[in-house]
Amino acid sequence: MSDESQVTWKVTLPCTRSEGQAIADDFSPLALLDPPPVLITREADPAAPDNWLLDAYFELEPDARLLAMLRSLIPSAAGAAPVIEKIRDEDWVTISQQGLEPIHAGRFFVHTPAHRDAVPTDAISFEIDAGRAFGTGQHETTTGCLMALSRLKDEGAHFSNLLDLGTGTGLLAFAAMRLWPVARATASDIDPISIEVTEENAGINKVMLGRSRGQLELVVSPGLERHRLKARAPYDLIIANILAAPLIDLAPSVAGALQAGGRLILAGLLEHQAEKVANAYRRQGLIARFRIERGEWPTLVMRKRRSLSRR
């Protein structure tokens, strides 16, 4: 008999391309489970680019409740029978790492431990493990933010006080710190698990934690409500890779925390949501600078006017 402690359970369901891309960075409420599953989405057949698969890895055999939670992420799979199988842990380690291919975006190269030997010599590299992480660089929104940061650097932008709002794995905060290494940096998330993951990833990537210049302060906070986030304001760079609805709701507080002339990177929105999100920030005195197109997921870069009469 096999030792059940050495077995991982894998559930595979079909999904659409848009569902798979949306899952990559946000899979609540499954992310709140202890331990959470690892979700990997992939294109099943290059000849059918809209037909993807979702692989979910659980430490325990998934029951009807967990399967229902999984199905809630992918409405298109309502009538599909899940494929459930057991795999040994040593196989799971290989599968989980190989399932996340490296991402090269702008100046950055993001990889799992399985691809340490593939790092280009001219890239700024980060190692983000599969583990509990969400926001590993695989999603178009994260890639778009990395490209936006690279472009701002190429344009000669300088930042001294930056905030990664909704940090996930900490990747975008790490990337901004590498480009502007003497800046004060803050990473926040509503989910305490995200902050734990960010702290782990900071150690792996040799990012110093703390409140001084060149260090990253971590804060658990819904939006910008916590005192520490308000005390660190105003920021000259805010990165917010979350979802369209909270981006709109947070527009007054985010704009209020951004200094005049500061830059704002907005992501986590679909193409048809971009104008509504942009308008919410235009009403707060921001103007569009440029956008990064990544399939259905644009990344918006805006600047806060120095005065209402000047552009």
142 is in an annotated binding site: yes
The token duo for 153 is 């650097």
89 is in an annotated binding site: no
SS3 category, 20: helix
156 is in an annotated binding site: no
122 is in an annotated binding site: no
Residue listed under structure tokens 């409500």: 225
Rounded-to-integer distance, Cα 100 and Cα 24, Å = 11
Strands (E), 140-283: 161-165, 184-189, 216-220, 235-241, 258-267
241 within 8 A of 25, measured Cβ to Cβ: yes
Backbone angles phi, psi at 251, to 5 degrees: -50, -50
User: Distances in Å between the alpha carbon of 93 and those of 53, 97, 182, 267?
Assistant: 19, 6, 37, 31
Which residue numbers belong to the known binding site for S-adenosyl-L-methionine? 142, 166, 189, 241
Which residue numbers belong to the known binding site? 142, 166, 189, 241
